[in-house]
Each structure stands twice: as structure tokens, then as C-alpha cells.
Amino acid sequence: MATPTPIALTIAGLHPSGGAGVLADVRTFTWFGVRATAAITSLTFQNTTGVFGATHVSGKDVRAQVLPLLEEFKISGAKTGMLPTREVIQAVARLFRETDLPAPVVDPVMVSTSGHSLIEGDGVKALITELLPLARVVTPNIPEAEELTSMTIRSEAEMQLAAAAICGLGARAVLIKGGHLFQEPDGKRQEAREAIDILSENGRVTIFRSEFIPDTNAHGTGCRLSAGIAACLAKGMTLEDSTQAAKRFVFEEMRIAQS
């Protein structure tokens, strides 16, 4: 008897160009051999160069998208992306508390690559108090980790401290994405010579080092990384192996884009 194809769920915003958000997540799930399901939290008006506006879905309607999926499918992996309002965050957290959905990969999307805010008002506080304690892993980049912890992160050691602080907020594990976002003592951002990501899980720290690729076409890399982790978790892989596999996928996509 053939093994059933694992099913993963993304709860995120719709990016019409497909470079990020639900469309990028679905493509990533498919690449990893996982069946994709999705619920949309926001209809954004954007292309690869910027965000021009958005219409957010209500928390009630996000829930209404997910419940029929749970009646039909056994979902083995899940991730969240853009959760634009406190209402949506609370509705999503309730779904993970009250159903048999697996603990999600939480990508704490706050600001677009072009600098547009993607979370309103007290949404960050709700993200911290409502969703982080339910997460299998939280995957902030450095600015997001700084927002979550009120810390300034300029070094690998400070990345580790921030990861511990986010775990202290209730997350089971944290992956802080270093990339090129290190900050020099003079306050200027400078591109790193290598990409450094730090995974903290149950007090154990794993450091992933890889070649740094300039981000001339890195739009949506965080979405694809978190979706890749969710897909691999759906297939029964460990978090560390899931992270490594997702990083290889994103690295190869970036390498091809630069060629």
C-alpha cells in the first residue's frame, strides 16, 4: 500500500506576484512532495517592487477557511505567515489550541522587503502572547527578533541571546535568520561574508553556516524557508534536519536567481 502524501497548511497573505506569501508557500510545499492547503489572511496589492495596499480578512473568515479542511484532511504540518491584525492572530491561535492541527512554524512577518508594515497596532503583542507559545518553531530575521525581544542584535552571540529570550516567551524552538543583517558598532548595516542562522531548541543551539548570496532577488526567502521547514516536519523529519533541508532549497533558489 502506498504511503499517503503528507498534507501541510499555510495561513498567510496573498502576494499576487507569487514571490512571497501563500503562493510561494504552496510552491514550496509542492517541491517537497507535500500536498498544499491554504487559508488567506490578507489580500495584498503588490508586486516584487513594493506594497500598495491591502484588504484584510476577518478572523472569523480565516477560521471559516480552515475548519472545512480539517473535516476532510489530516494535516501533518502547518505554518503561519502574514497575520495582519490582533483579531486574525487570536483566531489563528484559537484554531491551533482547539483543533488537532500540529504546532505551527511561525514566521513572524512584520515588515515587507520594501518597508511596508504588515501587522497593525497591537498585533505584535498578540503574536507574542497568543501564538508564540503554540509554535513548533519561530523563524524571525534579525529585525523581527529585535522587535520581539526589544534587543539590539549585532553579533552571533547576541543572536543566541535573542533566541534564548524568544524561547523564554514560550516558543519551543527559535530559528533566527542572520543573513546580511549584522550591524556594525557605528550603527551601519554591513553585508556578512557568510549566512549564519541560529536554531535554539530545548537549550540546545545549532549554528548553520553557508555561503552568503547578495539579496538582489531575495524577496520571499523567509516565506520559502518557513514553508520548507513545515513541509519537512509534515514528512516526519526532525526540526534540525527540516531546517537544513529548507535552507538547502532556499540557497539553491537564490543561487539560480543570481546566475
pLDDT of residue 152: 93
* pLDDT, tens only, 216-246: 555 678 899 999 999 999 999 999 999 999 9
- Length of the chain measured in residues: 259
Round the average pLDDT of the chain to a whole number and report it: 89
**What are the percentages of helix, strand and coil residues in the chain, rounded to 5?**
40, 25, 35
Reported pTM: 0.92
Strands 50-56 and 77-80: what pairing?
Answer: unpaired
Look at residue 251 and tell me if it is in a domain. yes
Domain that residue 134 falls in: 7-258
According to DSSP H, which parts of the chain are helical?
A: 21-31, 59-72, 86-98, 123-126, 142-149, 156-168, 221-234, 239-258
Look at residue 63 and tell me if it is in a domain. yes
Number of domains in the chain: 1
- Any idea what the CATH number is for the domain that residue 25 is in? 3.40.1190.20
CB 249 within 8 A of CB 231: no
Look at residue 2 and tell me if it is in a domain. no
* pLDDT, tens only, 159-217: 999 999 999 999 999 999 987 555 444 444 455 567 899 999 988 999 998 777 665 55
Cell of 34: 507535500
* pLDDT, tens only, 31-90: 999 999 999 999 989 887 778 888 999 999 999 999 999 999 999 999 999 999 999 999
Looking at per-residue confidence, does 151 or 118 come out higher?
151
Cell of 100: 488537532
Look at residue 93 and tell me if it is in a domain. yes
Look at residue 79 and tell me if it is in a domain. yes
Look at residue 1 and tell me if it is in a domain. no
Q: How far is CA 164 from the centre of its chain?
A: 18
Q: Say whether 175 sits in a helix, a strand or coil.
A: strand
Look at residue 254 and tell me if it is in a domain. yes
Whole-number Å distance between alpha carbons of 174 and 139: 6
